[in-house]
């Protein structure tokens, strides 16, 4: 079982970023079993650059729940699954930090679709999600929004896993 994840963060200093949006797609290797997507109140101001990139403004998050409210459910979804992400190290690190603050330890294995793609397609010009989506004909409507990026990452993983 796989948990395809994507997060958008507040920006800021290394290891001080907070999740502002998270998407998790549970995939059994054949079918999507569950989809989870939430905006999260980070408890701090979202960097201007992030607001421009994602379209998520601090004001959009003001009335949303803090990560702590979702932590148990998020952990239940990903526990015991292989976590897949595009540049998974970043998402994994930030998610691990957020869960640790809620006294939950994350130690699942992970697969990075960038690394997988570099192994299978050594001569591509770029490995960012936008480029790869165009290259492989994957739909990516709202790039830098967690659910759309997670869906594109899952489509990319399917191509890389079967190709």
Range of the domain at 88: 2-162
C-beta separation of 62 from 152 below 8 A:
no
The CATH number covering residue 80 comes to 3.30.420.10
Distances (CA, A) of 113 to 43, 84, 92: 31, 7, 13
- The number of distinct structural domains making up the chain is 1
Tally of CA atoms within 13 A in the half-sphere of 37 that contains its CB: 10
pLDDT in tens for each of the 163 residues of the chain?
A: 999 999 999 998 899 999 999 999 999 999 999 999 999 999 999 999 999 999 999 999 999 999 999 999 999 999 999 999 999 999 999 999 999 999 999 999 999 999 999 999 999 999 999 999 999 999 999 999 999 999 999 999 999 998 5
């Amino acid at each position: 079982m796989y948990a395809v994840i994507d997060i958008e963060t507040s920006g800021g200093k290394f290891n001080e970023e907070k999740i502002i949006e998270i998407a998790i797609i549970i995939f059994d290797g054949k079918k999507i079993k569950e989809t989870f997507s939430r905006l999260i109140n980070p408890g701090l101001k979202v960097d201007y650059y992030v607001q421009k990139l994602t379209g998520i403004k601090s004001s959009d998050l003001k009335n949303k729940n803090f990560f702590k409210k979702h932590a148990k459910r998020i952990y239940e979804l990903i526990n015991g699954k292989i976590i897949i992400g595009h540049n998974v190290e970043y998402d994994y690190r930030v998610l691990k930090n957020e869960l640790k603050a809620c006294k939950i330890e994350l130690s699942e294995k992970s697969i990075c679709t960038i690394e997988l793609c570099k192994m299978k397609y050594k001569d591509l010009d770029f490995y960012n999600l936008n480029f790869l989506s165009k290259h492989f004909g994957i739909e990516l409507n709202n790039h830098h929004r967690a659910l759309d990026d997670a869906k594109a990452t899952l489509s990319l993983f399917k191509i890389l896993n079967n190709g």
